[in-house]
Structure formats: structure tokens, C-alpha cells
């Protein structure tokens, strides 16, 4: 028996539910598995649970699990089209993607190591922005539970591709989990799209080609696609993807700040509504301004105003302090967070526009005109932020002046002593008069012929009610008297609130006649339309300007997706074997399909020999291993094996005559781990399970070699060998129970087997010395497994301490 097949039991556990997917981390003692409930659980080798991520919805299943190389990041594909990136270290959801179709598989490629040369682009700008841009302040007001999948930060670590394979045949490539790096629809490259299914799609080790294993009618094919853009522009793509990740993080930060702004503004409105607008709502539209102006100019207070001013000085100061605090919080969010995020966004877009001028490297990835337009949109957003900041500053000044005047009036009407510092100057009295006049501005009637008219579909119910109430109060009648209450705030808080609505501004920011620049643009139309200047649209709200900027940014990243997608060229078709006819019910249910034609595959990149290795099963009895050389020879090697004994096979155990494949996975570059069961027709007979470690180096002499031509028919050019006839190639281990799934890790030297209808997980340590090798697993009962599981806990902790 080969030494590599030696196994030592580490433990076994009965799981609380069915386990559908398993995946070992290649560096740490972490295993992730997905349950039938749609949950994802990450635990250690000693069964200690690290974190459990809940299901994203009802009746959602986990389709695929993949660890990022040497990282704690896990990619999860769900049946509802969601792809989530989970961090086992921070126990959080890093980011997520949503697709419209069911996920077949999602995985991380190996780390990208670009070779530097005299004619190649050197990507050396990692986090260079930290030298020039201050770190954005954290948003302490936002609740992390309110964040959606697309509002998280993007992962940091070794650069790699995230590949998302859909059941429909569409494949999406993402670089650093951020940049859409092309897509391909495999149904466009098959002869029978109605008899189609995709099993796996893999990037080659040089990231310039993909292998697609799929069904085309009744044939199992492997399609090889070459991509020239990926070959020529991988290093510039890394640079662009890094900035794309920063831009998307900044977009998420702007969205979070917008959420905080809305919450802060609602707090201001709540303070005003609870304390002040009870009086305002009892007055007819236009009377508040008249009453306050009368009190300011003539010193005469009406009965309604006197009732409003019945608050004591101490009580009103408390109200004023709470409103001022809320407005100051609003000021800080705009001045620090939103303004800083806009500046960061402009920096990243300016850098991308600079990349676009280096056409030798970025011509296929960046359009300079589109990048410049995104910069102008970002500049317009920054101007809108400054406009909102000036509007808030004006409101803060007016509210402070109003609160001081109310306290002054309360003291005067109550015949109390007035401090000398509370006497108002002529300038402050003029500002108060302007504030009172603007408390209840005239709302223009909607007009279909005017561009700045308020669209009913885009206007909020509050604004519509305000316009209706204003019209009714201006035109009272006997049948329709003036309402005693209105939903509109009569302190003109809409001056700020209108910026936080997805609608045109009803009260645009007034133009300062002392400013020369607006007059210069108004007098020179050619200057106003110059592309070198940033446009300032005074009609748009902050939300509309933000969406306009986001759309311009999205257009920047359309070109790399289009260029890479158009560059996929089919270079070779390998016919691996024949399959049965695909029934409609089998195509709809992936589990039924796997039972009718069992196709399982595993992929491994061998860097030492520059080979891409693909192992796959063709039915339950036959498997093959394909090795694609990435050198100039363009060779493909094939090893075709079966579990059935050959005509010259020596006498075997009875079980070895009726074995079938259950699962297979690469253990390392020289070994392939297989899981097999006995197929029996006897009623009530329980099948036996075997773990098979297959040596690829021992079987190399039995492989066939082929030139990678446009069409290769392996079923006609290869010979199938029995695993029992290849010397020193196969080593069997009998397992207890009916085993159905396998997960191995050669770097961690562990193997996990699921049995008992995927409700029992058994973990083995691999590559044990012969004298330490356990007895045959078939001779160990499940009771003994449980006892050994408890005894193995101490040795596991010692091993973990040694590993760390």
C-alpha cells in the first residue's frame, strides 16, 4: 500500500442537518460547509465553530464554496443568484453580487504574479493614494445591520480573479472582486443549446485562456478559449481593478453618508415638529411671516404668537440647543464625510483619466473621453455638496438668530431684564426680516412646458401635499375653508430637505450678484459649454447629482468588460466522451441530472511544470486526467482509467468488481483522491465505500499525448486502463458507512468524508508513517470512531500549536 494513502482518524461528528458542500482552506485549519438550510458554517480541525452565516432567504441552497488562496476569505454561491464574500477572521460579509440566474459554481483563481519586462507595464501604485488623501472619518452613526451586500468594503489580499459560473452557461470574471473583467456565454459555442449543461469553467495558469467542461447534446466536451486582451493587459488590469475597488468603496461610503444625512435631517425635522410646528400648523398659509414681521417691526404680538411664546426662557433654550446640535451634526456630515469622499472620488477618476492617456497599455481598457466625462460629473457633485453646505450654513445662522430673537422677545414681553449682548444690530434685524419672509415661500404651480417642473412621479407625497395646501389656502371659499393644519413644515426647512429628495429643487440656491464667475458664464455661452469646465446644474438635487455621477463612473468600466468579452476565441474542442440523452426534468434539477449522467471534475494548476490539470468522471465507471501544457509545444496529455478490472487483471476482492465513482478531487499535483462505492442490486444490501488514492506519477507511462488542434476526439485516440492494472498507482482504504462526498487538502494533509446521507462528517489525517497507520477503516465501527474522536482532541490542539 502506498504511503501517501496512509490515513489516521482524527474524529467524526454527527451533524445537526444535511451538509451539501465542503471546502478546506489551503493554508489554515479551517473547513467551510454549506447546509441544507442555506447556512454556511466555518469550523476548525478540532470541531470548534468559528462563525455561522445565515441563509440569505427562504428555500435558498448553497451551490458552491471557494477559499481565496492563503486568505480567510470565502466565496459562496447561492441558488437565488447571490454571491457573497465572507471573512472568517472578522466574521462579516465583505461584499456581494446579485445575478438573475442560479449559480452553478463560484471560485477564486490562484494569485496573480505579473512578470516584469522591458515592454510590460509595472503595477506599483498600490495604496499610493494614502500619501495624498486623508483617511475618511468613520460613520459612527450608521447601523452595520442596515448595510446591504453591495455596501461593504472590498477584500484586500493577493490579487486574483473571482469567476462566477451560471447554470444558464454565462460566465463572469471579476478582478479583485470589483472590476468586471469580461464575460462569455457558452451557449453561443455549442451545437445543441437545448441539450446543454455546464459543469465547470476554469482559468488557466497564465490567465489568458479558459477551459469549459460542458454537455453539448450527447457529447461531453472541453472547450479551450484563448483571450488576447487578458494576455496583453493583465498588469494594467490589476492597476485599473485596484482603482475600481477604491472607487466602489468610495461610492459605498457616499451612500452610507447619504443615509446618515437623511437620518440627521429627520432628527432636525422631528425636533422642529415636536416643539415648534404645532403653532405653525394652526395658522393659515402666509400668516406666520406676517405675525413675526409685525412683532419684529412694531413690537406687537397677536394672541396666537403670545400663546406660542408661553414657553419659558429655559425651556426654549433647551429646544434651541437640541435643534442646533442636530444641525451641527448635519454640517459635519456634509463638510467632512461627504466633501472628503467627493475629493477622493475625483482623485481616483483623475488617475484613471491619466491611465487612459497611456494608450500603449490602457487602450483596450479605458476610453479617455468617458473618463474625462466622469471627472466632470464628479466635479458637479462636489459643487452640489458645496451648495448644500452653504444652504445648511445659512439655515444654521438663521435658526440661531431666530432662537436668540425668540428668547429676546420672551424676556421683553415678560418684562424681564434683557442682557446687553442680546441687543440685535441693524444687519441682524435685516437678516431676521428676510428669514421671516422666506418662512413660507410661494410654491410655483407645476407646468408641463417647463423643464424644471415637478414631475408627479418623482415628487414625494410631502411636497405634493404642501403645494396642494398652499393652493387651497390662497384661494379659500365657503365650501373649502382654509385648513387649520397642513403636513408641510412652515419654517421652510425644505431649503435643505429638497436636496435629499430624488426630485428637482423647488427652491434653487439664490445667485449672489456679487460673484463674477456666474455672470461670466451667463455672458459667454461658449465658455459655459466648454468641456474643460465643470458644469453646475442648479436644478438638480444632491441625490440626482449623485446618481448622475454614478452613471458616468459605471460607463468608465464598460470598456474593459466589452474588450475582454469580445476577445474570447475558441481555439480547441476536445470531445471527452458520450453521455445519455438529457431529459427536461433532469435539466431543471441539478441533482437529477447528476444521477442520470455523473460528471464530476477537479482542477489543479501545477506551477513547476507549467501545466493545467483537469480530472473528470464520465459516468460512474470511467474517469480521465487531462494535462494541458502552457509552453510553446501546446501539448495535451490524457490518462483514461476505469474502476472495472481489465481482461488480464489478477484476482481481486469481491467488492472491487462492482465499484462506481462517487467523488474525486486533486490531493496535490501528483495524487488524485477518489471516493467509490459498490453497486449492488440486492434488496436491502448496504453498499460499501472505499477511499482511493491514485498516483498520477505512476500512471504517467500510460498516458497518451496529443497536439492541441481545433478538434480532438479522445474517445477515438485514447485507451482506457483499469486502475488495478497500473503498478503502484491505486491504493484502497475501506470506509464505514455509505460515503457520498469528499474534501481533501494536500497542503493541510487532511481529508473529510461525508456519510450517512451526508449527516456524518469524518476527518482523517493523511500521509502518516506506516508504523503509525491505523487499522483498516472497515474494521472500525462507528462507536470506535466516536471514542477515537474524543481522544484525538488533545493531539489536535498540539498540532495546531505546532502549525502556528
pLDDT beyond 90 at 32: yes
pLDDT beyond 70 at 421: yes
Quickly list H helices, 606-730.
714-717
**Per-domain residue ranges of the chain:** 243-443+490-563
Q: Which of 554, 236, 513, 508 lies closest to 374, judged by CA?
A: 554
Alpha-carbon gap, residue 85 to 177, rounded angstroms? 9
Element (DSSP H or E) covering residue 742: strand 739-745
Helix 542-556 crosses helix 339-356 at what angle (to 10 degrees)? 30
> Are the C-beta atoms of 494 and 506 separated by less than 8 Å?
yes
> Are the C-beta atoms of 625 and 631 separated by less than 8 Å?
no
Mean pLDDT of 8-30: 91
pLDDT beyond 70 at 762: yes
Percent of the chain exceeding pLDDT 90 equals: 41
- Beta bridge pairs of residue 409: none
Rounded to the nearest 10 degrees, how much is the dihedral formed by the CA atoms of 93, 97, 102, 104? -70
Alpha-carbon gap, residue 63 to 81, rounded angstroms? 10
The predicted pLDDT at position 337 comes to 87
Task: State the DSSP string of 323-349.
Answer: HHHHHHHHHHIIIIIIHHHHHHHHHHH
Mean pLDDT of 708-727: 91
Alpha-carbon gap, residue 114 to 235, rounded angstroms? 6
pLDDT beyond 80 at 579: yes
Q: What is the pLDDT of residues 774-795, one digit of tens each?
A: 444 433 333 344 344 444 444 4
The per-residue pLDDT of the chain, averaged, comes to: 81
The predicted pLDDT at position 631 comes to 85
Q: What is the pLDDT of residues 589-622, one digit of tens each?
A: 555 545 457 899 999 999 889 999 999 999 898 9
The predicted pLDDT at position 473 comes to 38
Provide the pairing of β-strand 622-629 with 611-618: antiparallel
Mapped onto helix, strand or coil, the DSSP state of residue 13 is: strand
> How would residue 628 be classed by pLDDT, with cut points 50, 70 and 90?
very high
The predicted pLDDT at position 477 comes to 40
If one counts every other C-beta atom within 10 angstroms of the C-beta of residue 215, the result is 21
636: left (phi over 0), alpha (psi -120 to 50) or beta: beta
Mean pLDDT of 324-337: 81
The predicted pLDDT at position 71 comes to 85
> How would residue 567 be classed by pLDDT, with cut points 50, 70 and 90?
very high
Long-range CB pairs of 42-48, under 8 A, 24+ apart, other chains included: 42/74, 42/86, 42/88, 44/800, 45/10, 45/750, 45/763, 45/796, 45/799, 45/800, 46/11, 46/793, 46/796, 46/797, 46/800, 47/11, 47/13
Distances (CA, A) of 652 to 393, 640, 643, 725: 89, 21, 12, 11
Mean pLDDT of 685-710: 91
Q: What is the pLDDT of residues 348-406, one digit of tens each?
A: 999 999 999 999 889 999 999 999 999 999 999 999 999 998 888 888 888 888 888 88
> Are the C-beta atoms of 660 and 621 separated by less than 8 Å?
yes
Mean pLDDT of 632-660: 88
Q: What is the pLDDT of residues 147-186, one digit of tens each?
A: 444 444 555 677 899 999 999 999 999 988 888 999 999 9
Alpha-carbon gap, residue 451 to 769, rounded angstroms? 82
The predicted pLDDT at position 142 comes to 53
Alpha-carbon gap, residue 804 to 802, rounded angstroms? 5
pLDDT beyond 50 at 468: no
Distances (CA, A) of 771 to 2, 11, 729, 750, 788: 13, 20, 21, 18, 18
pLDDT beyond 70 at 524: yes
The predicted pLDDT at position 459 comes to 35
The predicted pLDDT at position 450 comes to 36
Task: State the DSSP string of 22-81.
Answer: EEE-SSSSEEEEEETTS-EEEEETTS-EEEEEPPSSTT--EEEEEEPTTSSEEEEEETTS
The predicted pLDDT at position 103 comes to 94
The predicted pLDDT at position 488 comes to 46
301: cell is 404680538
Mapped onto helix, strand or coil, the DSSP state of residue 8 is: strand
Provide the pairing of β-strand 730-735 with 689-695: antiparallel
Percent of the chain exceeding pLDDT 70 equals: 80
Q: What is the pLDDT of residues 201-239, one digit of tens each?
A: 999 999 999 999 999 999 999 999 999 999 988 889 988
Q: What is the pLDDT of residues 141-158, one digit of tens each?
A: 554 444 444 444 555 677
Q: What's the length of the chain? A: 804
> How would residue 121 be classed by pLDDT, with cut points 50, 70 and 90?
low
Alpha-carbon gap, residue 167 to 588, rounded angstroms? 10
Q: Which of 130, 94, 647 lies closest to 348, judged by CA?
A: 130
The predicted pLDDT at position 298 comes to 81
539: cell is 436644478
The predicted pLDDT at position 273 comes to 58
The predicted pLDDT at position 791 comes to 43
The predicted pLDDT at position 574 comes to 95
The predicted pLDDT at position 516 comes to 84
Alpha-carbon gap, residue 587 to 599, rounded angstroms? 14
643 burial (CB, 10 Å; 0-12 / 13-18 / 19+) is buried
Q: What is the pLDDT of residues 655-680, one digit of tens each?
A: 888 899 999 999 999 999 999 999 87
Q: What is the pLDDT of residues 282-316, one digit of tens each?
A: 777 777 778 888 888 887 777 777 777 766 566 67
Long-range CB pairs of 330-333, under 8 A, 24+ apart, other chains included: 330/261, 330/264, 330/265, 330/268, 330/392, 330/496, 331/389, 331/392, 331/393, 331/396, 333/257, 333/260, 333/261, 333/264
The predicted pLDDT at position 38 comes to 94
pTM for this model (two decimals): 0.79
Amino acid at each position: 500500500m502506498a504511503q501517501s494513502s496512509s490515513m489516521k482518524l482524527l474524529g467524526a461528528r454527527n451533524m445537526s442537518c444535511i451538509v451539501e458542500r465542503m471546502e478546506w482552506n489551503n493554508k489554515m485549519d479551517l473547513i467551510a460547509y454549506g447546509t441544507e438550510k442555506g447556512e454556511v458554517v466555518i469550523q476548525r480541525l478540532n470541531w470548534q465553530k468559528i462563525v455561522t452565516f445565515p441563509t440569505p432567504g427562504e428555500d435558498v441552497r448553497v451551490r458552491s464554496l471557494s477559499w481565496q488562496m492563503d486568505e480567510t476569505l470565502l466565496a459562496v454561491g447561492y441558488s437565488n443568484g447571490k454571491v457573497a464574500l465572507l471573512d472568517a477572521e472578522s466574521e462579516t460579509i465583505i461584499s456581494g453580487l446579485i445575478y438573475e440566474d442560479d449559480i452553478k459554481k463560484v471560485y477564486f483563481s490562484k494569485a496573480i504574479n505579473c512578470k516584469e519586462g522591458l515592454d510590460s507595464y509595472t503595477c506599483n501604485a498600490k495604496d499610493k493614494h494614502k500619501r495624498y488623501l486623508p483617511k475618511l472619518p468613520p460613520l459612527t452613526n450608521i447601523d452595520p445591520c442596515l448595510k446591504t451586500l453591495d455596501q461593504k468594503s472590498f477584500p484586500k489580499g493577493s490579487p486574483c480573479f473571482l469567476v462566477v459560473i451560471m447554470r444558464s452557461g454565462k460566465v463572469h470574471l471579476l478582478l479583485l472582486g470589483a472590476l468586471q473583467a469580461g464575460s462569455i456565454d457558452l451557449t453561443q459555442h455549442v451545437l445543441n443549446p437545448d441539450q446543454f449543461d455546464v459543469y465547470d469553467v476554469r482559468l488557466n495558469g497564465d490567465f489568458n485562456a479558459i477551459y469549459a467542461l460542458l454537455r453539448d447534446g450527447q457529447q461531453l466536451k472541453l472547450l479551450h478559449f484563448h483571450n488576447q486582451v487578458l494576455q496583453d493587459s493583465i498588469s494594467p488590469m490589476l492597476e485599473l481593478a485596484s482603482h475600481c475597488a477604491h472607487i466602489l468603496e468610495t461610492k459605498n461610503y457616499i451612500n452610507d453618508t447619504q443615509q446618515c444625512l437623511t437620518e440627521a435631517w429627520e432628527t432636525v425635522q422631528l425636533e422642529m415638529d415636536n416643539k415648534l410646528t404645532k403653532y405653525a400648523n394652526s395658522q393659515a398659509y402666509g400668516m406666520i411671516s406676517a405675525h413675526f414681521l409685525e412683532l419684529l417691526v412694531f413690537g406687537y404680538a397677536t394672541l396666537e404668537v403670545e400663546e406660542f411664546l408661553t414657553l419659558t426662557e429655559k425651556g426654549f433654550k433647551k429646544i434651541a440647543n437640541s435643534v442646533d446640535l442636530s444641525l451641527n451634526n448635519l454640517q459635519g456630515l456634509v463638510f467632512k464625510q461627504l466633501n472628503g469622499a467627493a475629493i477622493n472620488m475625483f482623485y481616483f477618476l483623475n488617475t484613471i483619466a491619466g491611465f487612459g492617456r497611456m494608450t500603449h497599455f490602457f487602450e483596450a481598457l479605458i476610453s479617455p473621453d468617458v473618463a474625462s466625462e466622469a471627472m466632470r460629473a464628479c466635479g458637479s457633485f462636489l459643487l452640489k455638496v458645496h451648495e448644500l453646505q452653504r444652504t445648511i450654513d445659512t439655515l444654521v445662522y438663521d435658526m440661531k438668530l431666530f432662537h436668540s430673537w425668540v428668547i429676546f422677545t420672551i424676556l421683553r414681553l415678560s418684562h424681564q431684564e434683557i442682557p446687553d449682548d442680546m441687543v440685535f444690530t441693524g444687519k441682524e434685524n435685516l437678516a431676521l426680516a428676510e428669514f421671516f419672509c422666506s418662512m413660507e415661500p410661494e410654491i410655483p404651480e407645476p407646468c408641463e412646458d417647463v423643464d424644471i417642473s415637478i414631475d408627479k412621479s418623482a415628487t414625494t407625497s410631502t411636497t405634493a401635499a404642501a403645494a396642494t395646501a398652499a393652493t387651497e389656502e390662497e384661494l379659500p371659499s365657503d365650501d373649502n375653508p382654509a385648513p387649520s393644519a397642513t403636513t408641510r413644515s412652515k419654517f421652510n426647512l425644505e431649503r435643505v430637505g429638497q436636496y435629499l429628495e430624488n426630485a428637482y429643487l423647488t427652491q434653487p440656491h439664490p445667485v449672489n450678484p456679487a460673484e463674477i464667475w456666474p455672470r461670466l458664464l451667463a455672458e459667454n455661452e461658449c465658455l459655459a459649454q466648454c468641456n474643460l469646465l465643470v458644469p453646475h446644474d442648479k436644478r438638480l438635487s444632491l441625490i440626482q447629482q449623485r446618481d448622475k455621477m454614478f452613471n458616468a463612473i459605471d460607463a468608465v468600466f464598460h470598456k474593459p468588460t466589452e474588450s475582454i468579452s469580445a476577445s474570447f476565441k475558441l481555439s480547441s474542442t476536445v470531445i471527452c466522451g458520450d453521455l445519455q440523452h438529457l431529459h427536461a426534468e433532469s435539466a431543471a434539477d441539478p441533482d437529477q441530472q447528476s444521477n442520470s449522467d455523473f460528471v464530476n471534475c477537479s482542477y489543479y494548476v501545477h506551477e513547476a511544470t507549467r501545466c493545467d490539470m483537469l480530472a473528470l468522471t464520465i459516468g460512474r465507471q470511467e474517469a480521465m486526467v487531462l494535462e494541458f501544457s502552457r509552453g510553446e509545444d501546446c501539448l495535451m496529455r490524457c490518462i483514461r482509467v476505469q474502476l472495472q478490472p481489465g481482461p488480464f487483471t489478477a484476482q481481486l476482492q469481491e467488492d472491487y468488481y462492482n465499484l462506481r465513482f462517487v467523488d474525486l478531487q486533486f490531493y496535490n499535483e501528483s495524487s488524485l483522491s477518489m471516493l467509490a462505492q459498490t453497486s449492488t442490486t440486492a434488496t436491502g444490501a448496504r453498499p460499501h465505500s472505499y477511499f482511493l488514492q491514485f498516483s498520477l506519477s505512476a500512471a504517467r507511462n500510460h498516458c497518451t499525448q496529443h497536439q492541441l488542434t481545433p478538434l480532438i476526439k479522445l474517445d477515438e485516440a485514447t485507451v482506457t486502463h483499469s486502475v488495478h492494472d497500473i503498478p503502484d498507482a491505486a491504493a484502497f482504504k475501506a470506509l464505514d458507512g455509505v460515503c457520498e462526498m469528499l474534501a481533501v487538502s494536500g497542503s493541510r494533509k487532511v481529508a473529510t468524508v461525508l456519510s450517512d446521507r451526508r449527516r456524518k462528517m469524518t476527518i482523517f489525517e493523511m500521509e502518516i508513517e506506516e508504523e503509525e497507520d491505523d487499522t483498516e477503516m472497515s474494521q472500525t465501527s462507528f462507536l470506535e470512531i466516536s471514542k477515537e474522536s474524543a481522544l484525538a482532541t488533545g493531539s489536535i490542539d498540539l498540532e495546531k500549536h505546532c502549525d502556528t
